Amino acid sequence: MSVTVTLPSRLAAWRDPASWSKASDIVAVLLALSLPWSTSLVGIFGVIFVLTVAPTIEWRAFMVSLRRPVSALPIALFTLAVVGTLWSDAPWGVRSYAIGPLAKLLVLPLLVYHFERSARGMWVFTAFLISCVLMMLMSWLVMLYPGFSIKRDDVERGIFVKNYIDQSQEFALCAVVLAFPIVTLLRAKKAWQALSLMALSVSFVANMAFVIVSRTAIVTLPMMMTTFALLHLKRRTSAMIICIMVGVAGLVWFVSPQLRRTTDTFVSDYQLYKEKNLPTSMGVRLEFWQKSLRFFANSPVIGHGTGSTRGLFEGAAVGTVELASGQVIGNPHNQTLAIAIQWGAIGVIVLYTMWLLHLRLFRGEGLVTWIGLMVVLQNIFSSLFNSHLFDFHEGWMYVLGVGVAGGMVLRAKSPQAVGEPAGAVKS
């Protein structure tokens, strides 16, 4: 008798959209927690998130959501990569492999759709912050006791897992995003809470200054902080803050040997490249960019097709691999050029339109809009020196940040979302 009673109720619970919605929230939190630590777990949780969202979808509302620019442009960029296989000269295996880095963009519309209907979006951002704090503590520990590191690379000291570029991106984003609640709490005269968050923000910056930092973060972090000062502080206060930032940066540079070594490599790398054609970090980037512009000029409208980049660099290589001119790569370390080579001006227009419309989505006041704005700006700034939409870690930071924040912003504009599943969590 008990079986006949409980079985229908269990089936009803299995079909309950609210239960699936809560499961999707939990999976998104787990994805955010795992992002600083593991690529495998992020991939697994990304798939599980898609599977848990699927039962909650009301297709009419979902199709309306997909037509919004925040969702339509990532889909358009992925579609262009698929269509671009038709005119590429690369082997089909290479073409299909080149589509992979853009596949994560398809999760972004699902995140937007889900978090427009869920009130738990801030859980995701809190989980990411907590995970980055733990990573920062582990970084200090690994600096003091290198034997704890999973990575056995003396060059990347203070790295427990992954690499210093990914770690710097996480720490820089957290440090800047925390500036908004710090100022908000100070204005509300909640000094202790503000000081606690300030300590966290300073800890992230201190880790980059005294443990390890990427050169990309050195360039992008001041730009992001300046953006905050201009948007959220009075003009006189902004000028004061910028002057203080310059002074503090100079002091930190003076007392931090690690930061001086990192900044000194800008000049030394350039000189070694120009004088000896050596493949330094900056030198190969300059070499890649010059060749990429030539590739783009040869096919400016539709590019050379998906997966064509490495073959073009192989054909343009001059000399041995010990020289910068002999280097071969499938990624020119610039997002615009990586897209222009494969899909020409059409691809660049789609990319820039996506960035612009995502920036427009995060206009206004509030912590969520600030988070979304910083995620997009960091991707734009850092993509001057890397192809961060294509990269696994930074690409997922963009997808998760824009997807969750975008859904939350749209929810705030329309609390009773069209097609909201029965039993969905209310604000």
Q: Residues 45, 47, 53, 57: what is their CA dihedral angle, to the nearest 10 degrees?
A: 160
Helix/strand/coil (H, E, C) string of 68-100?
CHHHHHHHHHHHHHHHHHHHCCCCHHHHHHHHH
What Cα–Cα distance (Å) separates residue 311 from each residue in 81, 297, 342, 345?
Answer: 17, 16, 11, 20
Q: Please give the full DSSP string across 139-176, using - where no structure is assigned.
A: HHHHHH-GGG-SS--TTSTT-SSS-HHHHHHHHHHHHH
The continuous run of DSSP H or E covering 377 comes out as helix 367-382
Say if residues 214 and 165 touch (Cβ distance below 8 Å): yes
Say if residues 361 and 413 touch (Cβ distance below 8 Å): no
Name the packing angle between helices 164-177 and 121-144 (round to 10°).
Answer: 130
pLDDT of residue 79: 96
Q: Which residues does 283 contact at the CB level (< 8 Å), separation at least 6?
A: 269, 270, 272, 273, 274, 277, 324
pLDDT tens-place string over residues 71-90: 999 999 999 999 999 999 99
> Tokens 């229908």 map to which residue?
8
Say if residues 204 and 175 touch (Cβ distance below 8 Å): yes
pLDDT of residue 99: 93
Say if residues 90 and 306 touch (Cβ distance below 8 Å): yes
Tens digits of pLDDT across the chain (427 residues) = 444 445 455 545 556 778 888 999 999 999 999 999 999 999 999 999 999 999 988 999 999 999 999 999 999 999 999 999 999 999 999 999 999 999 999 999 999 999 999 899 999 999 999 999 999 999 999 888 877 777 765 556 778 887 888 888 999 999 999 988 988 888 888 889 988 998 999 899 888 888 877 778 888 888 888 887 777 666 655 555 555 555 555 555 555 555 556 555 656 665 665 555 565 666 677 778 888 899 999 999 999 999 998 888 888 777 666 666 666 677 888 999 999 999 999 999 999 999 999 999 998 888 999 999 999 999 999 998 888 899 999 999 999 999 999 999 999 887 554 444 433 433 3
Alpha-carbon gap, residue 343 to 76, rounded angstroms: 12
Name the packing angle between helices 367-382 and 121-144 (round to 10°).
Answer: 50
Alpha-carbon gap, residue 364 to 54, rounded angstroms: 31
Say if residues 379 and 105 touch (Cβ distance below 8 Å): no
pLDDT of residue 157: 73
Q: Which two tokens stand for residue 266?
A: 């800008």
Alpha-carbon gap, residue 50 to 56, rounded angstroms: 10
pLDDT of residue 421: 44
Q: Please give the full DSSP string across 210-259, using - where no structure is assigned.
A: HT---HHHHHHHHHHHHHHHHHHS-HHHHHHHHHHHHHHHHHHHHH-HHH
Alpha-carbon gap, residue 155 to 151, rounded angstroms: 10
pLDDT of residue 127: 96
The closest of 286, 284, 314, 308 to 296, measured between CA atoms, is 308
> Tokens 């509030």 map to which residue?
366
